[in-house]
Structure 1
Amino acid sequence: MQKIRFIDLFSGIGGMRLGFEAAARSLNLETECVLSSEINPDAQLVYQTNFGDTPLGDIRLIDQLPEHEILLAGFPCQSFSYAGKKAGFGDTRGTLFFEIARLIDTFKPQAFIFENVRGLVSHDGGRTLETIKDEIKSRGYSFDYFLLNSSNFSLPQNRVRVYLVGILNASPQLGLVSDLGPKDSHSCSHQQLSLFSPLSKPVTVADILEEHPDAKYDCSPEFVKALKQIVNNDLDRLHGMRLIDYRGGNSIHSWELGLRGECSLDEIELMNLFILKRRNKEFGHHQDGKLLTKQQIATFFAHPNLDEILDSLVTKKYLQRNNELYKPVSGNFSFEVYKFLDPAKISVTVVASDANRLGVYHNHRVRRITPREAARLQGFPDDFSLHSNDDKAYHQMGNSVSVNVVTTVAQEVIQNVLYSAKPVALQNAV
């Protein structure tokens, strides 16, 4: 059996390695990881536990790459993320791409697979991606990128990431197709995004749920009681519900739950109208709405006791008053759960900052999803050992790649490397 050697840079807990190894097995190839690198000690620990290899630390301290055929790298995404400041190459983390380029100069593999957030594609008007492309092509590689949604790869998660692929001295015809997938987690159609792989099997959140998770994941009795009052004891109505203070729609708000103090019906009505009406063009064009005066509030909430209601909401900290201008005290970090997943649909994107506050109503329990369920949303097998600290396990899953997507991308790349016109120096396994 032939063996294909690979390197795993910015390895995290090993999601790209899992996907790559699965792809190689499907093509009857053995694999050998000749070098891995990850700077985070908690991720190093999980990686070592699962693979028996302790990754090297800071990539900047690696002088040279050993011989290998394929390079994997999920290089840091914060500097390109919509959630970050999008500083790109002006951010120290962004410059780490050039560390990859430096190492490629020490040994050129036959191919590479890089993963990043979708914001990389549009960052700086596309100039950042063009810079990466120029750096890669100047080293003799082809360059393709694909925006792929995990929901199209038998995973019930609406997660779009960009995959950069290159093959040395070749012009491959890859069978991958970019597709952003559904606009939200309530509309999902499964498509065939690879000529190599069959049509993906539709899966939903229900497929990844544990039947009897530990009681520590249950929401507090006080929180559940407040939720029951909102949904008139019909907890099925929680499916797909958001808990957030600056959006309307299918949302529950802190003032409806009484998290900072019970609110009267008038106070609840004012708050709901406030977050809706402050976006009206007559009040300005700010994305989340404008600060309003009492006179402006009175145009949509005419009440004889408006002063008293406003004072009460300020005292309870549902509203903030600055120079006679009012705005909601917004945010969602005061909620035990910020989004309830619908078991019949797919999940929102699992992210590091609040993967521990995704909730579900399942088997008559209102609870948070478990770290194992978060891992299943990312395609990690159940025999993969998670970090013993739940918060760290959630965080790592939010930062990880979706294993299934990597498998499909790697299958395409390996196929092209194996069967390209230029022969590949694969080792014969001992």
Structure 2
Amino acid sequence: MSKEMISESLLADIMSVSKRTVESWKKNGKVKSLKDGCYSLSDLDYFPQVKAMIESSWNKEQAIKPIKKYNSIELFAGAGGLAIGLEKAGFNSVALNEIDKDACATLRKNRPDWNVIEGNVSNIDFTVYKNIDFLSGGFPCQAFSYAGKKLGFEDTRGTLFFEFVRAIKEIKPKVFLGENVRGLLTHDNGKTLEAIKSVIQEIGYTLIQPKVLKAIFYRVPQKRERLFLVCIRNDLVKYSNFEWPEPFGKILTVKDALLKGNLYDSDCPKSQGQVYPERKKKILAMVPPGGCWVDLPDEIQREYMQKSYFMGGGKTGMARRLSYDSPSLTLTCAPAQKQTERCHPEDTRPLNIREYARIQTFPDKWKFVGSISSQYKQIGNAVPVNLAQAIGRKLIALLNNIENQII
């Protein structure tokens, strides 16, 4: 660990700052690079983020295993990113609900033994699953209407959060996990999260302080951030020993995703993918790895950016080519959208299906069903498998502790 070397761009990723900020740190002596411009992690342990990586108990956490079978239910399951991670951590899936037919077909194709309930969550009677250990779901964050000052469970009716909570009320799991976009923290000036907190309290659960987890710290080669809410039934809170997962000691990059190495034991298999129109391909061929529209000649910038050229700001997702030496930008539902371009580091084409899946740390044997655009959407919406597994292990540790205390 002490000899782990990182580039300037990886240091910027670890610290959640721009490369320009790292350059300014270098000028004023806050950080010191070695002769080749790289940094030694061990020389940067005065940064809490780096210290956490160096002193991490990641290897110890790998040993966490369930002391009994913990049955789980997942709502809004999508194509299975969270479900695979929780399965790897040791959960036994009893039911998964998803409304999208292609995502359901994906789940069934890969796990014929899983109980996949296709359809609208509002039509499901959850009382048949009463007292299952654990419930999870990435409930879509719809806006609530704030008629009263204090928003209760009934006031969220008509939203998918209401259905998520109804399932919790009917099942009464020991623990549940809610997963959402980082933006939920600040949505409607924080009112949405406050409403969610008050509803969780109302139904008899204690919310651990929510945390945004950055996927790059959990063996995911992608700068994705997700907000996690861990809630424990009030009668069991006294047994809680929940801690957030510790970071992996290395930041993985697009190279780790697409080529044989730290993550996969072979290069990425060939697969279908979107293609660029000829003119766009010629323009993107001029963009260097890690570059974007600002690296194009001015006249090409004007042609490609059109009105956006005059609007100022970064817009660094436009004409963006990934680099083998950095984690991927967050994957979206399509790799060739103009605002969120995800061009292959070497070839001038969008990332293909299997490359998309690897950046989300899906196993190569996990197959997706549906049109190409549907497959991209399923993968882009998923929780990265390795991130799900990391938090899953700590949830298993929590349930183990509860089990040991109440026996």
SS of the counterpart of 1:142? strand
Residue of structure 1 equivalent to 2:40: none
Selected match of 1:175 from 226, 232, 243: 243
1:360 alignment partner AA: H
Deviations 1:33-90 (Å, cap 9, x if unpaired)?
222211111111111111223323111011224131000111114x3xxxxxxx3458
Q: Give the counterpart of 1:61 among 106, 123, 144.
A: 123
> SS of the residue aligned with 1:361?
coil
One-letter code of the match for 2:227? V
Please name the residue that 1:407 is paired with: 389
SS at match of 1:148: strand
- Of 210, 213, 216, which residue of structure 2 is paired with 1:151? 216
1:373 paired with 2:355, answer yes
Q: CA RMSD in A?
A: 3.4
Alignment CA distance shift 1:166-1:359 (3 Å):
same
State the alpha-carbon separation in 2 of the partners of residues 89 and 374 from structure 1.
36
Cα contact 1:136–1:142 (8 A) shared by 2 = yes
- Mapped pair 1:238 → 2:288: yes
Structure 2 equivalent of residue 295 of structure 1: none
Asked whether the 8 Å contact 2:273–2:350 carries over to 1, the reply is no
**Match in the other structure for 2:231:** 166
Residues 1:13 and 2:95 aligned together: no
Q: For the structure 1 residues 88 and 374, does the alpha-carbon distance in structure 2 shift closer, same or farther, using more than 3 Å as the test?
A: farther
Inter-partner Cα distance in structure 1 for 2:71 and 2:270: 39
Greater Rg over alpha carbons, structure: 1
Give the TM-score, by structure 1 length. 0.64
CA distance in 2, matches of 1:135, 1:215: 44
Q: Which residue is 1:33 aligned to?
A: 93
1:256-295 to 2 correspondences below 5 Å: 256=301, 258=303, 274-276=310-312
Question: Which stretch of the first structure deviates more once superposed, 138-147 or 353-362?
Answer: 353-362
> d(CA) in 2 for partners of 1:92 and 1:105?
14
Give deviations 1:305-325, integer Å, cap 9, x for gaps.
xxxxxxxxxxxxxxxxxxxxx
Q: 1:142 aligns to what?
A: 206
Distance 1:251 1:413, change over 3 A: farther
Unaligned runs of at least 5 residues, structure 1: 25-30, 80-86, 177-193, 232-236, 244-248, 261-267, 280-287, 289-329, 426-430
Does the residue aligned with 2:362 lie in a helix, a strand or coil?
coil
Of the three residues 377, 399, 402, the one matched with 1:420 is: 402
**In 2, Cα distance between the equivalents of 1:418 and 1:34?**
19
Q: Secondary structure at the match of 1:174?
A: coil
Match of 1:358 in 2: 342
Does residue 341 of the first structure (1) align with residue 403 of the second (2)? no
Identify the residue that residue 270 of structure 2 maps to in structure 1: 213
DSSP 3-state at the match of 2:400:
helix
Distance 1:94 1:151, change over 3 A: farther
Contact 2:288-2:295 within 8 A present in 1 as well:
no
For residues 391 and 140 of structure 1, what CA distance do their matches in structure 2 show? 41
Farther off after superposition, 105-114 or 214-223: 214-223
> CA contact under 8 A between 1:218 and 1:367: conserved in structure 2?
yes
Residue-by-residue CA offset, 1:263-288 (whole Å, 9 max, x unaligned): xxxxx9x996x444xx8xxxxxxxx9
Conservation of the 8 A alpha-carbon contact between 2:70 and 2:133:
yes
Tell me by how many angstroms 1:341 deviates: 0.6
Identity rate, percent: 30
- Tell me the SS of whatever aligns to 2:361: coil
Q: Does 1:42 align with 2:91?
A: no
CA–CA separation in structure 1 for the residues paired with 2:71 and 2:335: 36
Are the counterparts in 1 of residues 289 and 345 from structure 2 also a CA contact under 8 Å?
yes
Query: Offset of 1:147 from its aligned partner?
Result: 0.4
Distance 1:227 1:410, change over 3 A: closer
Contact 1:110–1:424 under 8 Å retained in 2:
no
Who is 1:72 aligned against?
136
Q: For residue 72 of structure 1, what is the amino acid of its counterpart?
A: S
Give yes or no for contact 1:241–1:251 (8 Å, CA) kept in 2.
no
Whether the 8 Å contact between 1:226 and 1:257 is mirrored in structure 2 is no
Give the 3-state SS of the residue equivalent to 2:83 in structure 1.
helix
The C-alpha deviation readout for 1:106-146, integer Å capped at 9, x for no partner, is: 22001011110011111122121111112112232220211
TM norm structure 2: 0.68
Change (3 A) 1:216 1:63: closer
User: What residue in structure 2 maps to residue 386 of structure 1?
Assistant: 368
